[in-house]
Chain A
């Protein structure tokens, strides 16, 4: 491929003092590609996203390389990053209630992004904003543009957020749990919209979520994060149909599906015992070893690297069919 990737992350580490929430993460997202980053809370997935956006909280530092549009975002100045956000790289946050400005009309908020990065008049920016709202299937866009965030529904707010993120045709959109705060029936509509809109603009999509079905529906590749590292990485079809890492397999097994329902109520979900370790007390060796059914002495002492099979595991799951095709 001749076009450079939308983003290339090499050995990214994100930490606060001597605690590292992200410990050496590498991945490449090709232009127009779509990748999922899965993990539970505390896995470092959101910190990875914030590091890519240059939005780390005070005191947090990122090291490593994040190559995007010919520059290393980790070493860019705040000013350069700020001119980039919304233009070449943008983000859709989890909670639209708290990420929109409550005292500005939603149309103005979309127009702000357009006005800031393009040489257009306020009026043209507003016109483009309304056009975007039409594309987002929002009802009565002219009227809605004059509403304040509290006057519209959650799904509508998230569509406004997506419109803001897409406004300047960015090369990369990072969506951090974009549908978690929404009603189930609205979730699908918003995902469908995000899917179509990013494809239309050929924007790459980095989807960050703990929701495996969302990744399966939206992404081509997936990286599974655990305790700050990528433990499995590969095409979604391979990883979800044939997980190599015991953690990925555990996650897939603990999904309630419509098929494993037993009428007598005796069915039990497979659950991963224990919990995600806190950063202060990471186990030595493979961080998953205390919860892993296949852990041996080697797992407790040596940290596995991502192997050619796509999993960072000393004893990968054999060719076990977990999800029936």
Chain B
């Protein structure tokens, strides 16, 4: 079930959208929710940190070792090879890994809730 709530009525008081089940039912335990959010936050921050570190490290590498720019591999200069072909696969892999782990964390949260 998906519910779309659009808070677009101009001039109206800002409302918190309500779900159909009353809140005490739809909120499956504040502690569990907090721990879910914490584990998801950890995962999200780790993945972003990988991206950030790589993006911070590469410029530093080329700035500190300008000699790398003259190394050729397959007839292409190393910075061009790395920047054009080498980094993008890492993004794809990081994204896939994140999706897998985030879904696992959600399953771990949902399944016990289902058997309660």
Chain A complexes with chain B: no
Report which B residues bind A (CB closer than 8 A): none
Report which A residues bind B (CB closer than 8 A): none
